[in-house]
Copies of this chain bind each other. A is one copy, B any other.
């Protein structure tokens, strides 16, 4: 593409699929990478196909190095999937926008695309940082309309008792900006410690979503990843305990 320039949100279409009222599902990097893990697993399992790449001068000025030594410019990607009675557009990517302005511009560029396809419903996936490890992470929700809140409660989604709080980044903006265009939607947030990637939390989020959508997928790969993370976490914990112990001994010595 001669003279190709990247603005705050530049979309490159690899193909232009025909879609009818696809549901938008967002899973970009965030707390515990819960949304990203969930959306990527969904893409893999239902074999969704990439149809567009989104570049932005509000992404970090950076390329990523692939395993084979080749590189790719950081970007977001849009996948589509056509089921019998449902169609999906799934948004994943390497980064969210760095600035508030960039975040708004990117969310609006995504909405421009799905609005043309007739999208009426959006699910954004993310993590809900608790600061402590959670054995059985609950899925906390927030929605654009009260009838969606009610429906999600039936699927076991937790709604916060205490007032206040917010949803930061694409998971919040796509819903908030979508509402202004007449779209509905919900954010599903898996509880997670917040300081480590959390495939277990991603699994809980994805279970709620797929049940809601009537999809039947396999979670084996997410479970595998969750086991790997657990092993690493436990190894780190042992090292920290050892370090702490030796520190205390040092202090005793100084004291």
Instruction: Identify the A interface with B (CB < 8 A).
Output: 1-6, 8, 12, 55, 57-74, 97-98, 100-101, 103-105, 107-108, 112, 115, 141-146, 149, 159-160, 163-170, 172-173, 175-177, 179-182, 187, 254-255
- Chain B CB within 10 A, most for which of A8, A100, A142, A179: A100
CA distance A72 to B180 in the complex (A): 10
Q: How far is the CB of A13 from chain B (nearest CB, A)?
A: 13
Residues of B within 8 A of A179 (CB): 71, 73
> Which of B97, B149, B168 is close to A70, meaning CB atoms less than 8 Å apart?
B149
Q: How far does the alpha carbon of A144 sit from the alpha carbon of B64 in the complex, in Å?
A: 11
A216 to chain B, nearest CB (A): 27
Report the bound CA distance from A61 to B100 in whole Å: 5
Interface SS majority for chain A = mixed
Which residues of chain B are within 8 angstroms of A60 by Cβ–Cβ distance?
Answer: 100, 168
Query: Which B residue sits closest to A12, measured CB to CB?
Result: B180
Q: Kindly report how many copies of this chain are found in the complex they form together.
A: 4
Cβ-neighbour of A65 out of B8, B97, B164 (below 8 A): B164
Besides A1-B181, A73-B173, 5 new A-B residue pairs in contact (Cβ under 8 A), listed by A number: A1-B180, A57-B104, A60-B100, A67-B163, A70-B145
User: Please, how many angstroms separate the alpha-carbon atoms of A166 and B72 in the complex?
Assistant: 9
- A6 contacts across to B, CB distance below 8 A: 104, 108, 177, 180
Known: A1-B181, A58-B100, A60-B100. A72 touches B176 (CB 8 A): yes
A208 to B100, CA, bound (A): 37
The CA-CA distance from A12 to B69 in the complex, in Å, is 36
8 Å CB contact of A62 from B61, B73, B141, B172: B172
Given contact pairs A146-B69, A163-B66, A61 touches B112 in the complex (Cβ within 8 A)? no
A161 to chain B, nearest CB (A): 9
